[in-house]
Amino acid sequence: GKRLMGASRFETCVLSSWSPDGRQLLAATTAPRMRVDNKIVVYDYCGCRISQNPFEELLSASWRPRPRGTYQERPPSPEREA
């Protein structure tokens, strides 16, 4: 079954995607939809912010593709707390 591991709020998020290993979430505010506060924010799978990178103008953001099978399937870390 599925269970909520964490939550986070990013009000100006224009796009988001999970990393190829499924452990981080990339969220971005991009132009031209948002002309101010363009940035990339990376969260871990529990919703904790890992990094934030501001840009003057950001048009797109994505993870570098990886071939299927590059990363082993792993269960969520049982000791992690949101």
Tens-binned pLDDT, residue by residue, of the chain (82 aa): 677 777 788 888 999 999 998 889 999 999 998 888 899 999 998 889 999 999 999 999 999 988 888 888 877 766 666 5
Q: How many CA atoms lie within 13 A of 32 on its CB side?
A: 0
DSSP per-residue codes, 17-76: EE-TTSSEEEEEE-TTT--SS-EEEEEETTS-EEEEEE-SS-----PPP--TTSS---PP
Amino acid found at 5 = M
pTM beyond 0.75: yes
Q: How far apart are CA 18 and CA 41, in angstroms?
A: 12
